[in-house]
Every structure is written in structure tokens, then in C-alpha cells.
Amino acid sequence: MSHKLRVLLLIVLSAPICKAFQIARFPQVQEIHPTAESKTAQDQAFNARKRLLMAAETAQQLKVAASNSHAPDDQAKAAAAQQQVADAQKDAEVADKKSKEVQSAVIAPQDWSKIQTALQTKSSDYESKMKSNSALATMLVLAGLILAALSALAGFLKKSIAAGILSIVVTTVVGIPKVFPITQRAEYYRALFVQSSSLLLQAQLRLNPTLADYNEFAHDIQLLAEYETNKFPSGGDVAQNTQDLIKEIAASTSGAH
């Protein structure tokens, strides 16, 4: 009886859970590279910005360590790391300049509208999934509390069968978030929503966008899709994946982006 009841509950709850876990598929915006040099220049600029971010992060860590220890060796390492940041900054500026030079053509309005439409669609989808996962998590918590109270009341009134059934229901409801990381998904979709909304605002404010702008935003859209599908934190490590996404988008973005 208890096994059948649990299966029935899972069937009843499967609809909202499946809806919350469904990943929408949208047409991807492809980068536009008239020449091989254009793609090479963009990749070099991306890699240079990534090296700059990594150098800055390492320098900050060494600076904190030197500040705490006051050791000459640590201070020397921090000073060397700052110099590496300066060198990486120069390399990134040179790479950005070259990327913009070979991708300086103004993009057509209809092509730029594809960027804005894609970001608007993703932002709306992430917001919807953020709200549905958050609502589902809240519903399960409230249902667990109410059912636990009813189970206790049934036991107090010596309604053993009702208390047993309610106990099974409580166990099933409370166990769902342990199997499906609903709360973590809500947090992660919030991060995706924030990033996509920020990119959308930047795209809307961009005047006379160039081919370089288009390709940078197209790459950012591809990153959002990748982090939703291939890099979704199945283990619940939302914070790390969110930080990785922010770093990837920052590396994909030039100083003017």
C-alpha cells in the first residue's frame, strides 16, 4: 500500500517538476566572420582577456597573502604578480584593438535585432524558470510542514491509518528536493537571468554596433546556452558555476562592451 501511494504521489508531482526542469531550445545566433583573420583576431582577443582576468585574480590572492604574512618573499611574489597584470593588460589592449580593426564594419540593423531578440527570449525564459523552480520549492516546503502537522494531529487523535498515510506523504514530499535540486536550480536560473538581462540592456544601448560587437554578443549568447545545458550544476554547485559563467562572459567582452 505504501509503495503504491508513493508511486501515485510521484506521478501527481511529476508534471510541475518536469515543467520546472524542461530546457527550452532556441535557434542560436551564429557569429559572422567574413575572413579567417576575423575569427583569429577575435579568438586572440578572447584569450588575452582571459589571461588578464586570471592574472588579476592571482595577483589579488597574492596581495592578500602578503598583507597577512608581511613576509618579504610573499611581498615580492605580489609585486611580480602585479607586473604580470600590467603586461597582460597591454596584451589585451593590443589584441582588442586588432580585433576591432578587422571587424570594424557596421552591422546591419536586422542582424543586430537578432542579438536583441535572442537575449530577450533567453532572459524571459530564464525568468520564467527561476520563478517556477522557486515556486515549486516553496510549495514543497509548505506542503511538508502542513502535512507533518496533519500527521501529528492524526496521531494525537489516534487515527493510525490516516497518520500512517500522511507520514508516507510527508516522507515523499520532503525527499523530492534531495533527489531534484529545485532550490539550486532556482538560484542558478536567477544568475542566468541576471546575466542575460545585463547583456540585453547593453545591446539595447549600443549605438552603431560593429561586426566585433555582434560577434562578442553572439559568443555571450552561446555561453549562456552552454551553461544552461552542458554546464548546468547537476551537483548543486551553483556558486562555482555562476562565477565561471561571469568570468567567461567577462573574457568574451571587450572594454567597450
**pLDDT tens digits, the chain, 257 residues: what are they?**
445 544 455 555 555 555 555 555 656 788 888 888 888 998 999 899 989 989 999 999 999 999 998 888 989 999 999 999 999 999 999 999 999 899 999 999 999 999 999 999 999 999 999 998 888 887 777 777 776 777 776 676 667 766 666 666 666 666 666 666 778 888 889 989 999 999 999 999 998 999 999 999 999 999 998 888 877 766 556 777 888 888 888 887 765 44
pLDDT at 252: 78
Pick the closest to residue 113 from 247, 38, 203, 23 (CA basis): 203
Looking at the structure, tell me whether residues 249 and 172 fall in a common domain.
Answer: yes
pLDDT at 157: 66
Total domains, the chain: 2
Looking at the structure, tell me whether residues 162 and 95 fall in a common domain.
Answer: no
Determine, yes or no, domain membership for 32.
no
Backbone angles phi, psi at 106, to 5 degrees: -75, 135
Determine, yes or no, domain membership for 233.
yes
Looking at the structure, tell me whether residues 154 and 253 fall in a common domain.
Answer: yes
Structural domain span for residue 211: 8-22+106-257
Distances from the Cα of 87 to the Cα of 62, 64, 101, 194, angstroms:
17, 21, 21, 32
Determine, yes or no, domain membership for 31.
no
164-171 LR contacts (CB < 8 Å, sep 24+): 164/2, 165/5, 168/2, 168/5, 168/6, 169/5, 169/9, 170/144, 171/6
Determine, yes or no, domain membership for 3.
no
User: Which one of 102, 123, 139 terminates a domain?
Assistant: 102
Q: Is-contact 215 31, C-beta < 8 A?
A: yes
Determine, yes or no, domain membership for 74.
yes
- Helices marked H in the chain: 2-21, 36-69, 72-102, 109-156, 160-179, 182-205, 211-229, 238-252
CA dist 50 and 194 (Å) reads 21
Determine, yes or no, domain membership for 95.
yes
Q: How many CA atoms lie within 13 A of 106 on its CB side?
A: 5
Looking at the structure, tell me whether residues 55 and 139 fall in a common domain.
Answer: no
Looking at the structure, tell me whether residues 239 and 128 fall in a common domain.
Answer: yes
Task: Look up the pTM and report it.
Answer: 0.72
Looking at the structure, tell me whether residues 152 and 45 fall in a common domain.
Answer: no
CA dihedral of 194, 196, 199, 203, whole degrees rounded to 10: -130
User: Which one of 48, 73, 102 terminates a domain?
Assistant: 102
Looking at the structure, tell me whether residues 156 and 237 fall in a common domain.
Answer: yes
Looking at the structure, tell me whether residues 72 and 158 fall in a common domain.
Answer: no
Cell of 108: 546591419
User: Which one of 56, 77, 102 terminates a domain?
Assistant: 102
Q: Is-contact 31 219, C-beta < 8 A?
A: yes
Looking at the structure, tell me whether residues 113 and 96 fall in a common domain.
Answer: no
Looking at the structure, tell me whether residues 133 and 181 fall in a common domain.
Answer: yes
The residue count of the chain comes to 257
Vertex 191 angle, CA 172 and 26, to 5°: 90
Determine, yes or no, domain membership for 2.
no
Looking at the structure, tell me whether residues 110 and 89 fall in a common domain.
Answer: no
Cell of 14: 511529476
pLDDT at 13: 52
Determine, yes or no, domain membership for 28.
no
Q: Fill in the DSSP letter of residue 201.
A: H
Looking at the structure, tell me whether residues 131 and 247 fall in a common domain.
Answer: yes
Which residues touch 38 (CB under 8 Å, ≥6 apart)?
102, 103, 211, 215
pLDDT at 173: 65
